[in-house]
Amino acid sequence: MDVISIGAVNVDLVAKVDRFPDPDQETVIRSWDMVGGGSAANVACGISRLGVTSGFIGNVGEDY
């Protein structure tokens, strides 16, 4: 293994909107996705997509 990332793994909620609101304005969320995230997990995934053998060490809590 070439790279091991150690650290955060999160669940990201990504909202899809028609436009990004200006300050003090609102917008309608058309849909949303739940995707994996977290800095160390994202690094491991990105490095892997570049063709480098990578691994990840992290911890998932019980608060979800």
Residue with tokens 């899809």: 16
19-44 tens-digit pLDDT: 999 999 999 999 999 998 899 999 99
The answer to whether residue 51 is domain-embedded is yes
Number of domains in the chain: 1
**Residue 64: inside a domain:** no
Q: Does residue 29 sit within a domain?
A: yes
Question: Is residue 64 predicted with pLDDT exceeding 80?
Answer: no
Quick one: what percent of the chain has pLDDT higher than 90? 78
Q: Is residue 36 part of a domain?
A: yes
Q: The pTM is what?
A: 0.67
Could you tell me if residue 49 is inside a domain? Answer: yes
Q: Which domain holds residue 48?
A: 3-57
45 versus 64: the higher-pLDDT residue is 45
- The per-residue pLDDT for 47 is 96
